[in-house]
């Protein structure tokens, strides 16, 4: 470590310097306060051994200590005061000035070595603490500059492509279908579309369509007239009216009933809604973004989803990659969640240990980003120090399912996504690869591995 030794007695200074250098440290020795501060201001030191009573009429050790502590980064060093004063009042004065330790003269060599051992441990502790804070600040800066798009976090190729696609669809007023597994952040994507569009200054409303009866969901979407159904005690506008000029996000649209599908199709076609119990339509001006984890094409074949509604909502389509396909984003996500929950819980947790982070990266994340967020929150609850350890993580993350099960699941899901991308791009393999964030070579290799037949050239150039 870098040591600044400040002692005006030449014999004591030389002895201390020899002992410190013998321990492998880089020592700068000064005889007065002014030269000590000049040396420190040029090159900060990790340990300062400082004599209180410096002769010469300039800065004494206490003044040097206060000057160091008040300088930028002055809290990053350990200061040990050496003095002949041994009273409680002197000790209190030194501690108030920012001294970490206190040695009373005369100081023998063996005692000096012992206190240096303690100081070395102290310096290492300070190093770790500030390294963690520096890492957190650097990552936060990096995230703000390169890894965040509205509330979406990630710098993986799949996320970069997604950001580009969001900006494209936001520029037009078409209906957007967002597809992806549960927990991949479909509502965040919908909000990003809204905030990137001309409607950003107007309302954004989200409705989860799963689990409602026809009357309740119809009332939520389209509004109702008093007495339209049991419990309708007042006239009520729906979200289509409430979001006038803005954007509506309909999550889990694959779960709505045929009756509500019919009403929704009319709204999208005619740009007007009719409240339940009324006959007069009301004009609405809203942008509609929908999402599902279903394969709607399969639902159409099963007869559970209207084909004409699918055509209407998939004017623009975005496919979200599962977290297991964007593992490089996990450190950024973990850092963001750590900061969020640290503030809410008021716990001084600064970072995740490298071992715990590797466990998080290795997990299959069937619940995607939502599951990762929950895991980080759970880890902070159990964390007893400033660093999240492996033992703080949820048991299902520490002890994942067998790899074979995960690999099979991943391959099936990737094959489905590749087929969907080819359908979306009319068989253009290069465009489909870009949409999925894959290189063309990787995409072509996976086509062969999964036995996916080409859907047509679509203007594709030969693979080089």
If phi > 0 it is left, if psi is from -120 to 50 it is alpha, else beta; for residue 346 that is left
> What pLDDT does 145 receive?
54
Residues 312 and 169 in one domain: yes
Residue 99: closest CA among 121, 72, 122, 128: 122
d(CA 125, CA 447) in angstroms, rounded, equals 53
Task: Quote the longest CA-to-CA distance of the chain.
Answer: 102
Asked if residue 304 is part of any domain, the answer here is yes
Q: Whole-angstrom distance between the N-terminal and C-terminal Cα of the chain?
A: 54
Say whether both 192 and 249 belong to one domain: yes
51 and 98 share one domain? yes
Q: Which of 321, 339, 363 is the last residue of a domain?
A: 321
State the CATH number of the domain containing residue 29. 3.40.50.2300
Residue 87 is part of which domain span? 2-128
- For residue 382, the model assigns a pLDDT of 92
Q: Per the structure block, which two tokens stand in for 330? A: 């996990």
Same structural domain for residues 300 and 313?
A: yes
> 239 lies in a domain?
yes
**Residues 248 and 304 placed together within one structural domain of the fold:** yes
Instruction: Residue 377: give its domain's CATH number.
Output: 1.10.8.60
The domain that holds 422 is classified in CATH as 1.10.10
Rg (CA), the chain: 32
- Indicate whether 179 and 316 sit together in one domain: yes
Residues 6+ apart with CB under 8 A from 227: 277
Q: Which of 298, 321, 344 is the C-terminal boundary of a domain?
A: 321
Q: Which two structure tokens, joined as six digits, stand for 49?
A: 């051994």
Whether residue 95 is found in the same domain as residue 48: yes
CA distance 70 to 63: 11
In a domain, 109, yes or no: yes
Query: Per residue of the chain (464 residues), what is the pLDDT tens digit?
Result: 899 999 988 989 999 999 999 999 999 999 989 999 999 999 889 999 999 888 766 888 899 999 999 998 888 899 999 888 778 888 888 888 899 988 888 888 999 999 899 999 999 988 888 877 776 565 455 545 557 788 899 988 888 889 889 988 998 999 999 999 999 999 999 999 999 999 999 999 999 988 777 878 888 888 877 776 666 777 788 899 999 999 999 999 988 888 899 999 999 999 999 888 788 889 999 999 999 988 898 899 989 999 999 999 999 999 999 999 999 999 999 988 998 898 888 888 888 999 999 999 999 999 999 999 999 999 999 999 899 999 999 999 988 655 444 444 556 667 777 887 888 788 888 888 777 766 676 777 678 767 776 454 444 443 33
Residues contacting residue 341 through CB under 8 Å, at least 6 positions apart: 347, 376, 377, 380
- The confidence score (pLDDT) of residue 216 equals 83
Structural domain includes residue 141: no
Q: Residue 334 in contact with residue 372, Cβ under 8 Å?
A: yes
Does residue 166 sit in the same domain as residue 295?
yes
Q: Do residues 32 and 62 lie in contact, with contact meaning Cβ atoms separated by under 8 Å?
A: no
Q: Is 230 helix (H, G, I), strand (E, B) or coil?
A: coil
Cα gap 406→363, rounded to integer Å: 9
CATH number at residue 180: 3.40.50.300
- Residue 160's pLDDT is 82
Of the candidates 18, 16, 67, 9, the one whose C-alpha atom is nearest the C-alpha of residue 39 is 67
Q: Which of 307, 316, 294 is nearest to 258 (CA)?
A: 307
Count Cβ atoms below 10 Å from residue 352 Cβ, excluding itself: 26
In eight-state DSSP terms, residue 456 is -
SS3 readout for 396-407: HHHCCCCHHHHH
- Specify whether 174 is located in the same domain as 296: yes
457 located within any domain: no
pLDDT, position 73? 85
Residues 6+ apart with CB under 8 A from 393: 356, 359, 360, 375, 378, 379
The pLDDT of residue 464? 35
Cβ atoms of 209 and 255 closer than 8 Å: yes
Residue 458 has what pLDDT?
Answer: 41
What are the residues whose beta carbons fall under 8 Å from the beta carbon of 46, sequence distance 6 or more?
A: 1, 2, 3, 76, 77, 78, 123, 126, 127
Q: In this structure, are 96 and 172 located in the same domain?
A: no
In this prediction, residue 163 carries a pLDDT of 87
Q: Would residue 71 count as lying in a domain? A: yes
Domain assignment of residue 455, yes or no: no
Cα gap 122→99, rounded to integer Å: 13
**Separation between Cα atoms, residue 290 and residue 125, nearest integer Å:** 51
Residues 168 and 105 in one domain: no
Dihedral sign (CA 15, 19, 24, 27): negative
Q: Where does a domain end: 263, 292, 321? A: 321
Positive or negative, the CA dihedral 300, 304, 310, 316 is: negative
Which residues lie closer than 8 Å to 277 by C-beta, 6 or more apart? 224, 225, 226, 227, 228, 229, 232
Beta bridge partners of 276: 224
411 is written with which tokens? 């391959």
* Token digits of residue 51: 């004599």
The predicted structure's pLDDT at residue 416: 78
Is the separation of the CB atoms in 378 and 338 below 8 Å?
no
410 & 393 share domain: no
In the chain, how many domains are there?
4
Domain contains 220: yes
């Amino acid at each position: 470590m870098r040591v600044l030794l400040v002692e005006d007695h030449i014999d004591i200074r030389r002895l201390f310097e020899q002992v410190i250098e013998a321990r492998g440290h880089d020592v700068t020795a000064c005889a007065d306060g002014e030269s000590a501060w000049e040396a420190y201001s040029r090159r900060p030191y990790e340990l300062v051994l400082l004599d209180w009573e410096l002769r010469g009429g300039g800065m004494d050790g206490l003044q040097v200590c206060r000057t160091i502590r008040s300088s930028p980064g002055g809290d990053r060093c350990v200061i040990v005061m050496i003095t002949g004063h041994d009273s409680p009042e002197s000790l209190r004065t030194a501690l108030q000035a920012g001294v970490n330790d206190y040695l009373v003269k005369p100081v023998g060599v063996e005692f000096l070595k012992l206190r240096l051992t303690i100081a070395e441990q102290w310096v290492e502790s300070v190093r770790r603490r500030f390294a963690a804070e520096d890492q957190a600040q650097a990552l936060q800066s990096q995230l703000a500059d390169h890894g965040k798009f509205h509330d979406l976090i990630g710098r993986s190729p799949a996320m970069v492509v997604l950001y580009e696609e969001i900006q494209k669809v936001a520029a037009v007023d078409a209906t957007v279908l967002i597809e992806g597994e549960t927990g991949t952040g479909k509502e965040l994507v919908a909000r990003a579309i809204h905030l990137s569009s001309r409607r950003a200054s107007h309302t954004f409303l989200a409705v989860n369509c799963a689990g409602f009866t026809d009357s309740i969901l119809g009332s939520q979407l389209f509004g109702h007239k008093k007495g339209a159904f049991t419990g309708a005690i007042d006239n009520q506008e729906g979200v289509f009216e409430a979001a006038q000029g803005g954007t509506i996000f309909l999550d889990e649209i694959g779960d709505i009933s045929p009756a509500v599908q019919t009403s929704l199709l009319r709204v999208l076609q005619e740009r007007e809604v009719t409240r339940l119990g009324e006959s007069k339509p009301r004009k609405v001006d809203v942008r509609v973004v929908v999402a599902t984890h279903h394969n709607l094409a399969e639902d159409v074949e099963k007869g559970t989803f209207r084909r004409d509604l699918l055509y209407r909502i998939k004017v623009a389509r975005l496919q979200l990659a599962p977290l297991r396909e964007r593992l490089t984003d996990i450190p950024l996500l973990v850092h963001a969640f750590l900061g969020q929950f640290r503030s809410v819980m008021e716990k001084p947790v600064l970072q995740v240990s490298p071992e715990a982070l590797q466990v998080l990266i290795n997990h299959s994340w069937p619940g995607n980003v939502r599951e990762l967020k929950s895991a980080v929150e759970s880890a902070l609850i159990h964390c007893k120090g400033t660093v999240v350890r492996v033992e703080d993580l949820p048991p299902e993350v520490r002890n994942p399912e067998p790899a074979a099960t995960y690999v099979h699941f991943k391959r099936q899901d990737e094959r489905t996504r590749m087929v969907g991308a080819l359908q979306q791009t009319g068989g253009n393999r290069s465009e489909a690869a870009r949409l999925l964030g894959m290189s063309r070579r990787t995409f072509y290799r996976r086509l062969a591995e999964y036995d996916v037949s080409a859907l047509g050239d679509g203007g594709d150039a030969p693979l080089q």
